[in-house]
Chain A
Amino acid sequence: MNNLILEVNDVAVAFGGVKAVNGATMSVEVGSVTSVIGPNGAGKTTLFNLISGAIKPDSGTILFQGFEIQKLLPHKIADRGIVRTFQGAKVIKRLSVLENLMLGAQNNPGDNLINFFNPRARNAFEKQARERAMALLKQVGIERFANDYAGILSGGQRKLLDLARALMAEPVMLLLDEPFAGVNPTLVEKLLEVLHALRTEHHLTFLLVEHDLETVMNISDRVVVMAEGRVIADGLPNSIYENQAVVDAYLGTRKLNS
């Protein structure tokens, strides 16, 4: 038994002629923060879609905690503890912000119709979950919108909601697709603290896609670089700068500037 929580082996998927992910191999260690970087269209979001089961790979395997998950339906994968956020954030517009969060609660007895006849259990769970949801909303700073339709939130606020909702699900591993893009810097600091606390207290594992290299370098234990559907480099944050392939494919002039 190794300490890898996620292993992606030679996974490929094509849409029509576009090989969005083309034989990607990577892994994530338990309790680490791993960042995926790469140019636009490199296949990062598609990789997340594959891991979370939203799309099925044409070939390759994905192992989570040693179990193959590439054939499982998304909700089964979520049940195993992988929860994701969406690039650009997805909120259920016609549910309130609080209700959006409540969707994240796991093992809610009220999800099961049989428990319609067991209001005690339902209500007790709801009450507890609602308290947790409010605390999370407070942490991400949108608690004052709790009872508004999520559809009224701004783009940045939707990201915060998406993140809080994922946390509500108490994941083992969190996939965050550009969680900080469009969120104001002070709040990013605060969110990073929240995530850090989760990591130390709950041994949460993070896999995130992020374009801001400074943030990536600061928070990541490992960095995976993708380009044209492949993983072209995988290593400690600093080693990335030394990798010629990465410089050619992605960093380009940016390295010279920094």
Chain B
Amino acid sequence: MAEFVQLLFNGLVAGSIFGMAALGISLVYSVLHLVNFAAGDFLTLGAFTTFYLATSQHLPFVLAVILSMVIGVIVSLILEFILWRRLRRSGAGMLALFLVASGIAFILRQSIALTFGSDSRRFDLDQLTTYEFLGAQIARAQLIVLLCASIAITGIALFIKKSNIGKDMRAYADNASLAAVSGINVDRVIIATWTISGAYGALAGVFQGTVQGQFTNGMGLDLLLAILAAVVLGTIGDAYGALIGGFVLGVVMDLSTWDALAGGIPSTYKPVVGFAVLVIVLLFKPEGIFGVRARKI
């Protein structure tokens, strides 16, 4: 039981991070039809800028996190203005978008490596305090991450549902040409999309860095697999689906290591479980958990 609670908790923490990152990818996909392979490296960027600001520049941690989110947004917007906009105007196809996104990923990852080296870093946070809950050891840092992530997720879900920009985003994602002629400010929608994706990517990166304890410039890449799986599970382009997909994946991956389940699988194989879940879901429900049957012609 204690183990179950422990794994469930770990899974929820991981899931909240997957969900936040997956949300950004899904939003960007729904609005811009682009699978952002660089998303993982935006997590890394967030973790490293926070590390730099808080540990090297001695800013208060929360301020460092906020500044990192701002940096994530700025980088996303710069890329929008110098790259994505141009590619859209030239009618670039799926391949061009994929490759540019991965080009960005390489550049980001290597810039981080160039600046910070390949050593692992850690935030100057209290990683040791734990609470006991139903026999499970709940680390304070993890608890805070879960709480903050839950607030962030609820906030964004409400924002997309209730705010005017959120409504515009949904309308634009449903039918771009219709939305454009009905007077929706397309630029505003696109900027909002990158803002959310940039800010949440950075935040998810800080959370992941906190939960892992130590992180290197490969952190985001290692996570990309689970994030993409969450996106596909939740039906690509569906923001709420991505959040739920993230949680489902996080929990399933952690619970799969449970001893009670025929000994559980070794925890190093967790990502394989994530992939297996993805493949199984795609086989039986190709449109993702929440997808409606798409009809062509």
* CB under 8 Å from chain A, chain B span 167-187: none
A17 to chain B, nearest CB (A): 12
Q: Number of B residues contacting the other chain (C-beta, 8 Å)?
A: 4
A65 interface residue (CB < 8 Å to B): no
Within the assembled complex, what's the spacing in Å between the Cα atoms of A15 and B237?
19
Per-residue contact bits, chain B 253-279, to A (CB 8 Å; 1 contact, 0 not)? 000000000000000000000000000
List 9 A–B pairs whose Cβ atoms lie within 8 Å, in order of A's numbering: A15-B295, A16-B292, A45-B297, A49-B297, A54-B296, A54-B297, A55-B295, A55-B296, A55-B297
The chain B residues found within 8 Å of chain A, CB to CB, are 292, 295-297
Q: Which residue of B lies closest to A55 (CB)?
A: B295
A to B contact number (C-beta, < 8 Å): 9
Which residues does chain A contribute within 8 Å of B297, judged by CB atoms?
45, 49, 54-55
Further 7 A-B residue pairs, CB within 8 A, beyond A16-B292, A55-B296:
A15-B295, A45-B297, A49-B297, A54-B296, A54-B297, A55-B295, A55-B297
A84 to chain B, nearest CB (A): 11
Which residues does chain B contribute within 8 Å of A55, judged by CB atoms?
295-297
B162 to chain A, nearest CB (A): 24
Which residues does chain A contribute within 8 Å of B292, judged by CB atoms?
16
Which 9 interchain pairs have the tightest Cβ spacing? A54-B297, A49-B297, A15-B295, A55-B295, A55-B297, A54-B296, A16-B292, A55-B296, A45-B297
B166 to chain A, nearest CB (A): 22
Within the assembled complex, what's the spacing in Å between the Cα atoms of A55 and B295?
8
Which residues does chain B contribute within 8 Å of A45, judged by CB atoms?
297
Per-residue contact bits, chain A 10-22, to B (CB 8 Å; 1 contact, 0 not)? 0000011000000
Q: Which residue of A lies closest to B295 (CB)?
A: A15
A54 to chain B, nearest CB (A): 5
Within the assembled complex, what's the spacing in Å between the Cα atoms of A202 and B292?
43
* CB under 8 Å from chain B, chain A span 101-129: none
Within the assembled complex, what's the spacing in Å between the Cα atoms of A220 and B292?
40
Which residues does chain A contribute within 8 Å of B295, judged by CB atoms?
15, 55
Q: Which residue of B lies closest to A48 (CB)?
A: B297
Within the assembled complex, what's the spacing in Å between the Cα atoms of A55 and B297?
9
B269 to chain A, nearest CB (A): 36
A181 to chain B, nearest CB (A): 18
Which residues does chain A contribute within 8 Å of B296, judged by CB atoms?
54-55
Q: Which residue of B lies closest to A90 (CB)?
A: B297
Within the assembled complex, what's the spacing in Å between the Cα atoms of A49 and B295?
11
* CB under 8 Å from chain B, chain A span 34-53: 45, 49
Which residues does chain B contribute within 8 Å of A54, judged by CB atoms?
296-297
Which residues does chain B contribute within 8 Å of A16, judged by CB atoms?
292
